[in-house]
């Protein structure tokens, strides 16, 4: 299987790591990490997300890198998809 995990293996990993039956907090990401990924989902760059949130581009990158790691993602786009799959983010239908 190498570096590529199947969708089934990722789903199983997600279920195992994010089991909320033990009363744990169901959120994997911090509120700020979710805000950054939400802005990426809306098409913002790190620079424009930083301006919108009143933080530096460097801080946006650090937050997104933490989210990428927590979600087991390969890049920002994958992190947004994983966050959507785990209900960490919601798409605005407007």
Tell me the C-alpha to C-alpha distance, in Å, between residue 27 and each of 15, 31, 47, 83.
13, 9, 26, 10
Nearest to 29 by CA among 81, 68, 78: 68
User: What is the value of pTM for the model shown?
Assistant: 0.71
At 2-38, the pLDDT tens digits run: 444 444 444 455 444 444 433 345 689 999 999 999 9
Residue 1 predicted with pLDDT over 60: no
Q: How confident is the model at residue 91 (pLDDT cuts 50, 70, 90)?
A: confident
The full set of domains in the chain, from first to last, is: 29-94 (1.10.10.10)
pLDDT of amino acid 4: 44
């Amino acid at each position: 299987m190498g570096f590529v995990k199947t969708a089934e293996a990722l789903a199983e990993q997600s279920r195992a790591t994010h089991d909320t039956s033990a009363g744990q907090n169901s959120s994997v990401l911090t509120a700020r990490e979710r805000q950054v990924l939400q802005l990426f989902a809306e098409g913002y760059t790190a620079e424009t997300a930083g301006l919108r949130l009143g933080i530096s581009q460097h801080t946006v990158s650090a937050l997104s890198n933490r989210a990428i790691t927590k979600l087991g993602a390969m890049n920002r786009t994958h992190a947004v998809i994983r966050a959507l799959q785990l209900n960490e983010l919601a798409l605005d239908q407007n």
